[in-house]
Structure formats: structure tokens, C-alpha cells
Amino acid sequence: MDARVLESQLKESFAPRSRWVVALSGGADSVALLRLLCSFREEQNLTVYAAHVHHGLRKRADEDLCFVRQLCRKLQVPLYSTRIHADRVAEEQGLSLEAAGRNCRYAFLLPLAKRLNATVVTAHTLNDQAETMLLYLIRGNGPEGLAGIRKWREDGVFRPLLEHTKEELLSYLEALQQPHREDESNESDAFLRNRIRHELLPLLETYNPSFMQGVQRTAKILQADNEYLQTIASALVSAHSDGSFPLTAIKNLHPAMLHRVIRLSAKTFCGENNLSTTETEQVAALILKGSAQKSRPIGKSGLVRICNESVNFSKTVEKPNEVWYNITVSENSETILGDWSFSVSDSDPKIGLTLDYDKTGKNLVLRSKKDGDRIAIDTHKHQKISDLLINRKVPKEVRDQALLVCDGDEVLAVYPYRVAYSAAVTKDTTRFLTIQRSDNDEHH
């Protein structure tokens, strides 16, 4: 393709007076992208910046940084650079080097672009699209993964070269006599993506010389289908903004829509942006089974549970810090302790949790539950607090939030679920100890 034709085609993607941060590695693709933007920078009145990430992995990375500095100086493009240690990040976060490097790059690029009031632009090509789609196919991903790379990411990153091959960009650089850097790690077959690039793609092109163009068509079709289905899924999730769905309704969704609702709910309510296909199927199986009081974690920070004919998505509730308060209660008085109130009266107010005042001590303790705690449920029978909460169908993730009212070692009540037999109100009760919490009583 003639250099001027490529420049003319790409120019249509960049609005006049717009501002751009080019992710510049020094490789052929990113150097071509920078040269393309600079070719119509004045005509379109663009503001162009460049950003480079030194990953701390390769011996020649310092040379790459020197190269992009010289290139940006020549093109009069402001350059921003940073150094990271992708290997350390990968180890700390349990990621592959590729994933760690990608996360670190965007963690640098996106805040920089925001500060510059600009948009990040990357040099992903049609070759990258083909490699990505084949990678997802080999791994057994769903249709969203098989749709490949989108021209616009959700966070606003733009990929204008997805319809152009690497060969086109190399020809463009050759026409300009513009050198570029080579990443020697791209030659290593230790990475699956490299083996796809070096072995599988050339083989597929022997079956269909227009394989790349076929990839382009397939990606467009799948992306259009996905966008339509995702619009419907988004409407369903938005209609349940508390993360709670009627069990019957969600079970009756078509599997394609159920999977999308699960992934979107995990992202919206659980903070899990990339739920795997396997985990999505496991959550779907839990929902379709529809067993009451079942729950399972989602990713690292989410939870899905089935409770009271509803499916609830939420972030995992962290175990609360231990609570221990000493309380002194007296007749015809109210003791206030933060959100808590302990009041004694001669009538039952029918609110909160009520005990027989004459069966309790006057110096009580409000504390977190401990392993082995028991409560009297009959004259000679005690029950473990953990069993009580299970029997009351209290969701597992909120059981640690239950607090005990104790007189010495004796548990008088499990707030807000039960009063001990030994402290229960009867027809003979004349003085009532009422315990309330102001943000309450959501767990009754």
C-alpha cells in the first residue's frame, strides 16, 4: 500500500484538534503509528504525545529507550517514560509476564492521558487480531473472547490499525526509510502467542491466502452480535441495581444471556472484570440447580448466593474487627453506646430484641462471637451459635457480624436472632430490657 494512501485512510479516524498519547515501544507497529499521526498532525491540528514503558526485563531495553527519545526529539513529540519491574509484579500478583506487563503499561498510560486531557492510542494490527482470536480459540474461550480486539476499549483506548497488517506498516516504514527496534523476546517460542505467529498463522494462510481478511470479517460479525446481546444484558443488570435477581427469572434466561448477565453482574457488583469461562459456567450451574442457601466465591473479591428465591451478587464481606463493650444497665433508664441502645422499662416496646431484665445481670458485655459459644434453648439444652445461625438460614458471609449479649460466660442473646431460654420474656415478666441498633434490623 502506498504511504500516502495509508496516511489518508488513517487521517479519517482522527478528529481535528484532538489530543493523543501514542503507546510507543520502539517496535515497528508503534513507530509506524507515531509517524502516521505526525504526517497529518498539522493538517488536523492534532496534539501528539508519546509514552514509553521500560519493563526492566531485556538487556536491550535501555537501547529501546534511547531510540524512542531520539525519535521523539526528531519528530518534536513530547515523550513520557517510566520504568517498571514486570517480573516482580507478575510474581506478586500471580500473573504471567505478558499480563503483568500489559497491566503495568495501562496503569501508566491511562492516568497520563487523563492528566494531558488526551486519548491513548495503540498500534494493534490485524495480525494481533488474528493471533488473539486463535489464542482464545485454542484456550476454549466464549464468543466475547473469540470476537477479538475491539477498536475502542471500554476505558477509551483507541486501536486505529486493526484493519491493517503488519506487512503494510513495515512497507510504510521502508518507504520513509524509518528504522525501528526489534524485541528479541518476540522470536522466542516459549510463548504460545509467538508459536501462533511463527507456526500456526503461516500454516493457515497456506489453506486460505486471504485468511487475514477472513479474520477481519469474522471479528466484525462477532463484535456486532456481542454488542447487541451485551446491550440486552446491561439493561437486565441495570434493572436490578442492588445485585439481587429473582431466581426463577434468571434461571429462565437463554444460556447465552445467562452467561452474559453473570459476567456483567460479577463486574458490576463484585468488582471482577474478567470472569473466566469456566467460572462463569460454574456460577450458571449453581443458579440452574437453584438450591436454597447455596453460595460460592466469584474471583478474588466476589460472592454469589442463592437465598429466599433470589440470586445475589456482592463483594465478599470482610470479617469484622472483634467487638467487646462493657455495658451497665439500670431500671427505667437507657444506655447509649454508639449505634446501640439498652433500655429498661415496665412494658414490652415490641421492637429490637427484648429480654427479661430480672433474669439478666446489671453489668453486661456486648461482644463478637467466638468458636464454641453456645446459647440455652431449653432448661437443659444448649445450641452452638454457629448451628443456630445456620438453622436460621443466615448467609455464611454475614454470620460473623452477629453479636452476643453476655452476662459473664453466659450468652443471653444473639443479636438480632435469638434470646436465650434463661433470659426470655414470659407472661410473668414485669421489666423489659430492650436492645436496639440504629441501623437495624436488616437480618431479622
In this structure, the answer to whether residues 299 and 355 fall within a common structural domain is: no
Q: Count of domains in the chain?
A: 3
Half-sphere CA count of 176, side-chain side, radius 13 A: 23
pLDDT for the residue 93:
79
pLDDT at residue 443, rounded to an integer: 39
* Domain presence at residue 346: yes
Under 8 Å between Cβ of 232 and 277: no
Q: Which domain holds residue 299?
A: 240-315
Q: In what order do the strands lie in the sheet with 302-307?
A: 244-246, 310-315, 302-307, 294-298
Final residue of a structural domain among 290, 315, 340: 315
CA nearest 21: which of 105, 116, 101, 104? 116
Give yes or no: residues 289 and 351 share one domain.
Answer: no
Please indicate, yes or no, if residue 126 is contained in any of the structural domains. Answer: yes
Reading the block at residue 45, the C-alpha cell is: 491540528
Kindly give the parts of the chain with pLDDT less than 50.
Answer: 440-444
pLDDT value at residue 441? 43
Q: Residue 442: what pLDDT? A: 41
Is 64 inside a domain boundary?
yes
Residue 245 lies in a domain: yes
Same domain, 121 and 34: yes
| pLDDT attached to residue 57 | 78
Residue 231 lies in a domain: no
| CATH number of the domain encompassing residue 256 | 3.30.465.60
Would you state the pLDDT for residue 319? Answer: 55
| Residue ending a domain, choose from 265, 290, 315 | 315
* Residue 113 contacts residue 78 (beta carbons within 8 Å): no
The verdict on residue 226 lying in a domain is: no
Same domain, 272 and 349: no
| C-alpha atoms less than 13 angstroms from C-alpha of 384 in its C-beta half-sphere | 8
203 and 75 fall within a common domain: yes
Residue 227 lies in a domain: no
CATH number of the domain to which 32 belongs: 3.40.50.620
Residue 228 belongs to a domain: no
pTM: 0.68
